[in-house]
Chain A
Amino acid sequence: MTRLPTADHEAQARQRREASKQAAERRLERERGLARQAAEWLGDDLLEVIEFRGQLTVVCKPPRLHELLAWFKDELAFDMLVDATAVDYLKLEGDYPERFAVVYHLANTVREARLRVRAYVSEEDPTAPTAGDIWAAAGWAEREIYDMYGLEFEGHPNLIRILLPHEYSGHPLRKDYPLRGRGERDNFPVIRRGDAEAKA
């Protein structure tokens, strides 16, 4: 039933693959240019620009984070916030100045371009500025970070838990939070089958 690929198809596929590879290289070059621009704009507040597997991460000092994100949107047309999340570096080997980091994935929807912005957040003062005033999409993503990592966002209009119950204590995606145990059982009264039937 399966028809064999013809020579025509294969030649065409090869050509398109080659074109796509070149387009990807041009895209990466463009993204490098954007990261360079951001590095220049940040000046001393830039910590580093990381390139890994063709993806660029701009790491900036936390006080400039909000300004940088707004600049990315207004000047470099990164009109979409793809995702916002956080990382707990507690158990990761390497040189990380603080325990936490917030990570924003930005995208340009007109000319496909992506960048990642990272800023470190300390354990003692786990606050970061909200990006909700720049992209409406940040609202729930930041609530989830608060829920899972306990990082607070200044200026967020509705910073409450989103996935876990409101009365929950603890932030489960922190690396020191065990896979099971610690607290969650205490938050809910234990109801046995007999008790429920007796009440009814």
Chain B
Amino acid sequence: MSSTASHLGQQAFSERSISLEPGLDEKDMVLNFGPQHPACHGTLRLVLTMDGERARKIEPEIGFLHTGFEKLGESRTWNQFIVVTDRMNYLSAMSNNIGFACAVEELLGIEVPPRAQAIRVLMAEMSRISDHILGIGLQGMDLGAFTAMLWAFIEREKAYDVFELTSGGRLTTSYTRVGGLAFDLPEEVPHRCRKFLDRLDDLLEEIEAMLSNNRIFIERTQGVGVFTKEQAIAYGWTGPVARASGVDRDLRRDRPYLGYETYDFEVSTLTEGDVYARYKQRLAETREAGKICRQVLDRMPSGPINAIGKVTLPDRDEVYSQMESLIQHFMLEMPGHGVKIPQGEVYHATESPNGELGWYLVSDGSAVPYKVRCRPPSVYHFQSMPEMSSGLLLGDVVACMSSMNVIAGELDR
């Protein structure tokens, strides 16, 4: 038994010395991190060249979750693709639904009615809150503070209850349609939202009491993975991570969509650009999102939820009683038919929880997209891993990775 073990050891040793790559020092070790590791949220992989405990070189590798969404989009109708968008960023599926629907509406040149806009803003902000509190919790978990993550998870479930009430799905919501929404907001949702928001402030305070002044957390995060404003812009960073580096840019304020200009909220920035700043930035943005939610609930307009015209489904009662509506229903629902989108190309971006979620759509005038390109924020964030965390300790590399909240679904599409 023992002779076999020593034989195996010798073999492993000799193989290692044979496979020493050029440029690799005798004391370097190549460490494979992921794609299945508890600290890799999703299927991310890093190939680290370690010099002792320090990562001398970092090579991220992606594509393990590649599903061919963009190719799939070229054979589905515009409304069918909304189901696919859920699967991209599965922590905030609502934001993806809304972003895609807004992009198609821009291509059509229509605007949804005020009530639909308000419901979309409410859902986008609710998903921002659920995404951010989980992101904050996971950031704690990766550094050993498991409690914060559990607290965040309990509250996130309550946000998911609201999504379930609204759309029927917790994780994959598919709530929007081109020109409107799948269903109107159920009556009890505003009440449930308010209850969730009242509890949210307490949760954030609890998490802050747990982490913000925690000596270990601060030592592990402050000054770690610093990315300057110039670097962030060069790498195409957007969203909370960019604002934590001092990039004063928020699409909700700079290029308002869905009537964001009518709500009061502040876009805060930090200048440190380290892991701690990203944590603080997410906390601040969760609070602002809560403020927007309350404003939407206070002023929720009444009225239709679908744009008037040939792109949305008619009222069910009218389908049974009026010829015109029956034809419209048929033209939208039957195979080979669907919403016809005029020929052209458009890029529309929304501020998703992770950053700028853009859709570059090319239409040939038919009911099926010619090209659907998603600009996922995670790709541009994860791309900067080598520059951000080369030379750091292995544990700090994990801290950097979790601070970006990279979602493998939208990274690989």
Q: Which residues of A contact B (CB under 8 A)?
A: 1-3, 5, 9, 12-13, 16-17, 19-20, 24, 27, 52-53, 55, 57, 79-83, 85, 87-88, 91-94, 103, 105, 109, 112, 114, 116, 135-137, 139-141, 144, 148, 161-165, 172-173, 177, 179
B169 at interface (Cβ–Cβ under 8 A)?
Answer: no
Contact partner of B254 (CB less than 8 A), chosen from A19, A53, A112, A116, is A112
Instruction: Determine the chain B residues whose CB is within 8 A of the CB of A5 once the complex forms.
Output: 298-301
A148 near B70 (CB under 8 angstroms)?
yes
B297 at interface (Cβ–Cβ under 8 A)?
Answer: yes
Contact partner of B380 (CB less than 8 A), chosen from A27, A112, A137, A172, is A137
B362 at interface (Cβ–Cβ under 8 A)?
Answer: yes
Q: Say whether, besides A1-B194, A17-B259, A112-B254, A82 and B375 are in contact (CB < 8 Å).
A: yes
**Complex Cα distance A52/B344, Å?**
7
B370 at interface (Cβ–Cβ under 8 A)?
Answer: yes
Instruction: Determine the chain A residues whose CB is within 8 A of the CB of B62 once the complex forms.
Output: 162-163
Q: Say whether, besides A83-B375, A135-B234, A105 and B63 are in contact (CB < 8 Å).
A: no
For A172, the closest partner residue in chain B by CB is B71
A92 near B370 (CB under 8 angstroms)?
yes
Give the secondary structure class of B's interface.
Answer: mixed
B364 at interface (Cβ–Cβ under 8 A)?
Answer: yes
B236 at interface (Cβ–Cβ under 8 A)?
Answer: yes
The minimal Cβ–Cβ distance linking A9 to chain B, given in whole angstroms, is 6
**Besides A105-B375, A112-B255, A116-B347, 8 other A-B contacts (C-beta < 8 A):** A1-B194, A5-B298, A19-B261, A55-B346, A83-B358, A87-B362, A137-B234, A137-B236
B291 at interface (Cβ–Cβ under 8 A)?
Answer: no
Instruction: Determine the chain B residues whose CB is within 8 A of the CB of A173 once the complex forms.
Output: 70-71
B262 near A16 (CB under 8 angstroms)?
yes
B344 near A53 (CB under 8 angstroms)?
yes
Q: Sorted from nearest, which 7 A-B pairs have the closest CB atoms?
A: A137-B236, A163-B63, A20-B261, A13-B262, A83-B375, A112-B254, A5-B299
Residue interface mask B247-280, A partner, CB < 8 A = 1: 1010000111001011000000000000000000
A83 near B360 (CB under 8 angstroms)?
yes
**Complex Cα distance A12/B298, Å?**
14
A1 near B190 (CB under 8 angstroms)?
yes
Interface residues of B in 219-263 (CB under 8 A from A): 231, 233-236, 247, 249, 254-256, 259, 261-262
**Complex Cα distance A144/B300, Å?**
42
B349 at interface (Cβ–Cβ under 8 A)?
Answer: yes
B191 at interface (Cβ–Cβ under 8 A)?
Answer: yes
A164 near B66 (CB under 8 angstroms)?
yes
How many contacts A-B (CB < 8 Å)? 124
**Complex Cα distance A136/B364, Å?**
32
**Complex Cα distance A141/B384, Å?**
13
5 residue pairs of the A-B complex, CB under 8 angstroms, read A2-B190, A3-B298, A9-B299, A92-B370, A105-B375
B261 near A55 (CB under 8 angstroms)?
no
A20 near B360 (CB under 8 angstroms)?
no
A55 near B68 (CB under 8 angstroms)?
no
The minimal Cβ–Cβ distance linking B142 to chain A, given in whole angstroms, is 23
B107 at interface (Cβ–Cβ under 8 A)?
Answer: yes
Instruction: Determine the chain A residues whose CB is within 8 A of the CB of B236 once the complex forms.
Output: 80-83, 135, 137
For B295, the closest partner residue in chain A by CB is A9
A109 near B66 (CB under 8 angstroms)?
no
**Complex Cα distance A116/B344, Å?**
14
Instruction: Determine the chain B residues whose CB is within 8 A of the CB of A53 once the complex forms.
Output: 106-107, 109, 344, 346
Q: Say whether, besides A87-B371, A135-B234, A164 and B300 are in contact (CB < 8 Å).
A: no
Instruction: Determine the chain A residues whose CB is within 8 A of the CB of B346 once the complex forms.
Output: 52-53, 55
For A83, the closest partner residue in chain B by CB is B375
**Complex Cα distance A139/B62, Å?**
14
The minimal Cβ–Cβ distance linking B364 to chain A, given in whole angstroms, is 5
The minimal Cβ–Cβ distance linking A148 to chain B, given in whole angstroms, is 7
The minimal Cβ–Cβ distance linking B390 to chain A, given in whole angstroms, is 14
The minimal Cβ–Cβ distance linking A141 to chain B, given in whole angstroms, is 8
Instruction: Determine the chain B residues whose CB is within 8 A of the CB of A92 once the complex forms.
Output: 362, 364, 370
A20 near B375 (CB under 8 angstroms)?
no
B261 near A17 (CB under 8 angstroms)?
yes
Q: Say whether, besides A2-B297, A135-B234, A164-B63, A52 and B345 are in contact (CB < 8 Å).
A: yes
The minimal Cβ–Cβ distance linking A51 to chain B, given in whole angstroms, is 11
For B65, the closest partner residue in chain A by CB is A163
The minimal Cβ–Cβ distance linking B104 to chain A, given in whole angstroms, is 12
For B345, the closest partner residue in chain A by CB is A52
The minimal Cβ–Cβ distance linking A109 to chain B, given in whole angstroms, is 5
B373 at interface (Cβ–Cβ under 8 A)?
Answer: yes
For A80, the closest partner residue in chain B by CB is B233
For A9, the closest partner residue in chain B by CB is B299
**Complex Cα distance A172/B69, Å?**
11
Contact partner of B261 (CB less than 8 A), chosen from A3, A16, A57, is A16
For B301, the closest partner residue in chain A by CB is A5
A136 near B347 (CB under 8 angstroms)?
no
